[in-house]
Structure 1
């Protein structure tokens, strides 16, 4: 259907020649799909045809650098389509420059906060690498420590996927793993227990039908000594001596399980806990005590053995403590602060890296106190 020009639009004879000529050139360059021309376009075309027949074609009509102009037109079209996305991209980069490849502006957020390590599923093959020699502070109590990249608290105790072992169903394996975690949390992460209170949560997991064991632990908590020291199983600090530097204890380790010797499932847990501390009454210097614990427990079958359902048998436990006064057996850990120096017996044993989880705990029975290479 053709268009009829409205009365208020100028006629073809009223439009200046230079406008018509520009229109003609643009029409000649148009490479889009053909479409029916409008009434005005037909008028222009007819006028130009008549001018060409009389030899009066305007400059550039079907002559001149069409190829160059065509490239220019396509280039302008390309930038027109790219303009909005490019503007959006520029705006995004302005707000978050780290999105640019290589982060040329040095604003990569990963440099501001260390990313957590992957979950440990087995013993590592080597000690963690050296850390920047930074001094810990109340704001950054794990500065200069490999534990900076460890997970906080009980979130660092990640249970392996439970599966049946022998005749022990998957559900009992899962129960044993959860009870083991509860024991670790109650003995090393419970805020009250860490501040020196009786570790009731941890004790509640142990089978009361191990009377000798519970009697020994009760004696150690009530009257600690060299022979009965609760820190061999529980992490405890004197509240009148030190206090936690913040609410975070770093945790790293792994747990394994196998068929037990009492008709149940045996679990081994190997975890290291890092405690940042300050003096209870003194300068706000931060130090760290590192405690590694390896415990073997079993959830026995109450249908075959005289045990308490839902309680763990504590088969064996061992520990390695870094940065605690040597040969002090009052039931607490005593972290040392650099300016003050050691408060216990001078160390005579070998130097060890308390963060090295690739080696077994030294079971030397000589009771020789050693030193740590870092805290």
Structure 2
């Protein structure tokens, strides 16, 4: 959930000034010198009448009524105390009401969410980083996605945001490579995943030049496949094999957060190299490009990417670049049979009634299973999104 915006300085200053003025206006005022003199004279006259009544055994007459606030003593203090308390309560209510109005002007959604039946809920606690393969699929989550809460009803609500979900393991020397060289390989693999799946320009259908630049120029076959797929996508040349891209004329992101979960491991590869294995799930919240659209759907992409970094002292490689050895993916909630280089989220029941689905239903959030290959030949149905 995105943090709530702070109150602007001018609104906060006005709130403080109104509060101080309310306190000054409701503070009790001391009687004037003239009032104290009159009060003392009346007190002496009362004592004199009481003495005369006592000596002649007269019935005590009620003292003539005096204007409110003239007499000192418990009666005045109690009345003034009650009045002061009342004014303070009312003043406090006015201040609170003014503050509520101010907050409503700045962020009406937050105020509405505090009301009974509002949608304001405590954000789900984030999951710890994934360090091993899960033993099963995550449990069900309640709610339905909205523009303000696009991951509601999804396990992804507890996933990390974007690149924060790609945790690089602590490096160690492997084979003929030093700890620093292994650390560079791990960082380069993360940078490739971020540029290929999380970069806003890539998601909006742009050319993922930052990701391509991380691939070793010596891998001319891989670079040729990427360029062909991006330039003239078809069934056999699909940029979605490497990159997550959506048609900007069709959909847009619901918010600016992609949820990410997975893990990265490494081991010694061929001829003393370091082999990096990355297995990550990316969850994209989307809405239709049309103005006023409020329907939110999620497309889930799981990617398994294997890279290598070879010892430049022994192999003809470019230092600091990656060698891609494999790239596999599984896509949930996107139209099958479309080969234009974009993911096409399914909105509503009509979109989901696909006639070309050939694979069995599967849970895209179940990371306990190995990712099966097959691409579009096994286009199935997601049990949840």
Q: Contact 1:252–1:272 at 8 Å: present in 2 too?
A: yes
Specify whether residues 337 and 178 from structure 1 end up closer, same or farther in structure 2 by C-alpha distance, changes over 3 A only. Answer: same
Q: CA deviation at 1:340?
A: 4.0
Q: Contact 2:358–2:377 at 8 Å: present in 1 too?
A: no
Distance 1:115 1:364 in 2: 35
String of CA shifts for 1:228-287, please: whole Å, max 9, x gaps: 000011000000000000000000000000112143211000000000000011521000
Specify whether residues 203 and 176 from structure 1 end up closer, same or farther in structure 2 by C-alpha distance, changes over 3 A only. Answer: same
Q: CA deviation at 1:320?
A: 0.3
- Equivalent position SS for 1:296: strand
1:182-221 matches, within 5 Å, as 182-221=191-230
1:373 aligns with 2:383: yes
Residue among 325, 333, 347 paired with 1:315: 325
TM-score by length of 1: 0.68
Residue matched to 1:353: 363
Say what the alpha-carbon RMSD is for the aligned residues.
Answer: 1.6
String of CA shifts for 1:172-209, please: whole Å, max 9, x gaps: 11000000000000000000001000001111110010
- Equivalent position SS for 2:337: coil
Q: CA deviation at 1:301?
A: 1.1
Q: Contact 1:235–1:333 at 8 Å: present in 2 too?
A: yes
Distance 1:248 1:292 in 2: 17
Higher alpha-carbon deviation: 166-175 or 323-332: 166-175
Residue among 302, 317, 323 paired with 1:292: 302
Normalized per residue, which structure has more helix? 2
- Equivalent position SS for 1:367: helix
Q: Contact 2:337–2:376 at 8 Å: present in 1 too?
A: no
Distance 1:246 1:168 in 2: 41
Residue matched to 1:56: none
Residue matched to 1:25: none
Q: CA deviation at 1:164?
A: 1.2
String of CA shifts for 1:293-321, please: whole Å, max 9, x gaps: 00000011111111111100000010000
Count of residue pairs the alignment pairs up: 265
1:124-163 matches, within 5 Å, as 124-132=134-142, 134-163=143-172
Distance 1:348 1:166 in 2: 44
Q: CA deviation at 1:344?
A: 6.0
Larger radius of gyration: 1
- Is there any run of 5+ residues in structure 2 with no aligned partner, and where? 1-119
TM-score by length of 2: 0.67
Residue matched to 1:115: 125
String of CA shifts for 1:92-146, please: whole Å, max 9, x gaps: xxxxxxxxxxxxxxxxxx97111100110121111111111x1100000000000
Distance 2:158 2:226 in 1: 34
Q: Contact 1:327–1:344 at 8 Å: present in 2 too?
A: no
1:166-315 matches, within 5 Å, as 166-281=175-290, 283-315=293-325
Distance 2:186 2:174 in 1: 13
Q: CA deviation at 1:363?
A: 2.2
Specify whether residues 319 and 366 from structure 1 end up closer, same or farther in structure 2 by C-alpha distance, changes over 3 A only. Answer: closer
Q: Contact 2:362–2:381 at 8 Å: present in 1 too?
A: yes
Specify whether residues 370 and 163 from structure 1 end up closer, same or farther in structure 2 by C-alpha distance, changes over 3 A only. Answer: same
Q: CA deviation at 1:345?
A: 4.7
